[in-house]
Structure 1
Amino acid sequence: MLGWLGLLTSLFVPIARDAVWRTTRLFIPALFGVAYVVLIWQGWSNAVGAGFGSIEQVRALFAVDAALVAGWLHYLAFDLFVGNWIIEDGLTRRINRFALIPCLGLTFLFGPAGLLLYLGLRLLPPQEAT
């Protein structure tokens, strides 16, 4: 949550942008990535019949709590990374900062839906800097 709050702050407080982007682009996703690797290893080694070859194998993998948390961290890391890209790219393209807020909210809650909304915004003509 703090990473997402930082991204919102970076939209309106340019002086905070560098530190926020470094944290949300590198540090937090890397931290989640390390935790993911440890947890997926634990989950995989404790799950009978686990894998990605069928829905039954995925269900068996996520029946183990460590693997389920790893899956959650996977979403958290990638969604935050995508949210960071949306902000950076949106500001570079001079997309209205207020228009980026719903994209971030959707990306936080429903990942690909927020990305899709943002990609739609990119199709609009650029505006003057806000």
Structure 2
Amino acid sequence: MTATLFSLTFAVAAPFWALMILLPRWSWTARIIASPLIVLPVVVIYALLVLPAFGEVLPAVASPTLAGVRDLLGTSDGAAAGWAHMIAFDLFVGRWAWLDSRERGVPALVMAPVLVLTILLGPLGLAAYLAVRTGWRRPATAATGPQRLG
């Protein structure tokens, strides 16, 4: 079951990445990505992996040591849970960057490589977007309140 959940983890996130990267101007992309619930399938996978081993996971994360985290992630269950954890947060960060970039008017061709970097190396993708977004200011209307996408 662990191998199946591991394989499913990116498979359930990939369609959202594809929408943001390949179809950024499609009206349905904005509607779908607007929901933070797009990360829910990965979160469910993470829960299926972590909750049965909660007694082992909690001590490793509550009082982390290098050896303890290594031992936790060194198992099939731990590696699969770690992967789901990364994919969920990468997707959430990618979603935020995509939504923020639309508000700021960052071109889709600029965002595509940033989003790919976020998929592959999450924190570096976040750093790249934080650098990119300094070149685009939010329109005055966006600063005063929520704005509808699409």
1:39 aligns with 2:49: yes
> How many residue pairs align between the two structures?
123
Shift of 1:68: 1.4
**2-side partners of 1:41 and 1:123: how far apart?**
40
1:78 aligns with 2:94: no
Percent sequence identity is: 28
Contact 1:7 1:21 in 2 (8 A): no
Aligned position for 2:148: none
TM-score, normalised relative to structure 2: 0.71
**2-side partners of 1:118 and 1:93: how far apart?**
12
* Matched letter for residue 39 of structure 1: L
Aligned position for 2:146: none
From the superposition, tell whether residues 68 and 43 of structure 1 become closer, same or farther in structure 2 (CA, over 3 Å).
Answer: farther
Shift of 1:16: 3.4
**Which residue among 60, 65, 73 is the counterpart of 1:51?**
60
Name the SS of the counterpart of 1:12 in structure 2: coil
Over the residues paired in the alignment, what is the CA RMSD in angstroms? 2.4
Contact 2:118 2:125 in 1 (8 A): yes
From the superposition, tell whether residues 15 and 44 of structure 1 become closer, same or farther in structure 2 (CA, over 3 Å).
Answer: closer
TM-score, normalised relative to structure 1: 0.81
Q: Which consecutive unaligned segments of at least 5 residues does structure 2 have?
A: 1-13, 139-150
Q: For residues 18-47 of structure 1, give each alpha carbon's deviation from its aligned partner in whole angstroms, at most 9, with x where no partner exists.
A: 02443xx313x1122122123123345468
Q: For residues 32-71 of structure 1, give each alpha carbon's deviation from its aligned partner in whole angstroms, at most 9, with x where no partner exists.
A: 2122123123345468xx6132111011111221121111
Contact 1:51 1:58 in 2 (8 A): yes
From the superposition, tell whether residues 64 and 45 of structure 1 become closer, same or farther in structure 2 (CA, over 3 Å).
Answer: farther
Aligned position for 2:103: 92
**Larger relative contact order (C-alpha < 8 A, sep ≥ 6)?**
2
Aligned position for 2:129: 118
